[in-house]
Amino acid sequence: MILLTGGSGSIGKHVSADLRLKSRFPLADLDIDLPRRLSETSTLIHLAGVSDSRLVNQDPNSAYLINVDSTIALLQSFAKNGGKRFVFSSTGHVYGGTKPGSYSVETDPVNPKSEYAEQKVIAENLLKELSIQLDIQLIILRIFSVFGLGMRQNYLAGNIENFFESQKRFPIVQTSDDIRDFSTPETVAKYINMTANLAIQSSFTVNICTGHPVSVRERVKEAFDSFPEENFLPGNSEMPYLVGSTDQMRKRFV
């Protein structure tokens, strides 16, 4: 059985599951009804959380409750009911950037530069400890930038689409010289779907990325060919370059 949280999200809506778990936030008491008896082949794919950095920064304590505390409680409940494989969606932002011309690999030290990335690091570490204690196979997916039409407003593509729909003009895109590693939500979902069919093995962490550096300006222009050049603000953010290595991804998902 494949269980899924966050099934209505920009990525989750493309993920296949036998049961899409419904929850109410905040999840202080883990208001999710898990099946009482799970087989040892059951997989729980946990995509739910607060991913909008603006919301995380506005109320980091509430975000922590959802992104960390409830994630840990969910793993404990899953293990108690007999589940064996827990898939956690983390972010490439835990690396805090990549050296230009290089690729972030899973063994690199983490250096989160945002509250959201910091919470993902904390959740990763706690999950690793608990998965050993509870004999759960843990798969951590460090998902890099996602760009595709029909996404929510907290994603760049979704923000552009929604802004244009409401304002009939394109928004300003800041730090457009940043280099990122963009995947479509469908591609990310494809790899998430594959986690449920992997042979049971030891826990691992893997980047979900393309390994191809592309500027924010280039990616936006590819998707919105009429996007005006004057709407791009040149310059870089605190994390000017973030590109992942695909070596482990290709090894794990053969």
- For 140-159, the pLDDT digits (tens) are 999 999 999 999 888 999 99
The whole domain housing 23 covers 2-147+181-211+243-252
Token couple for 198: 């992997």
Q: Is residue 91 part of a domain?
A: yes
Say if residue 234 is preceded by a cis peptide, omega within 30 of 0. no
pLDDT at 146: 97
Q: Is residue 217 part of a domain?
A: no
Sheet holding 2-5, edge to edge: 19-20, 2-5, 43-46, 85-91, 137-143, 204-208
- Single pTM value for the model: 0.94
Are 68 and 50 within 8 A, CB to CB?
no
User: In which residue ranges of the chain is pLDDT below 50?
Assistant: 25-30
Q: Is residue 156 part of a domain?
A: no
pLDDT at 38: 82
> What is the sign of the dihedral through the CA atoms of 13, 1, 34 and 78?
negative
What residue has token string 């530069």? 113
pLDDT at 75: 94
Q: Is residue 63 part of a domain?
A: yes
pLDDT at 24: 53
pLDDT at 22: 73
Q: Which residues of 104-123 are buried (b: 16+ CB within 10 A; e: fewer)?
A: bebebebebebbbbbbbbbb
pLDDT at 37: 75
For residues 235 and 98, what is the distance between their CA atoms, to the nearest angstrom?
17
Q: Is residue 224 part of a domain?
A: no
Q: Is residue 174 part of a domain?
A: no
For 224-241, write each residue's pLDDT tens digit.
Answer: 999 999 999 999 999 999
pLDDT at 33: 64
pLDDT at 114: 95
> Which CATH number fits the domain that encloses residue 140?
3.40.50.720
Cα–Cα nearest to 31, from 84, 74, 78:
74
For 63, list phi and psi in degrees, rounded to 5: -65, -40
pLDDT at 8: 87
Q: Is residue 232 part of a domain?
A: no
Q: Is residue 185 part of a domain?
A: yes
pLDDT at 27: 44
Q: How many domains does the chain have?
A: 1
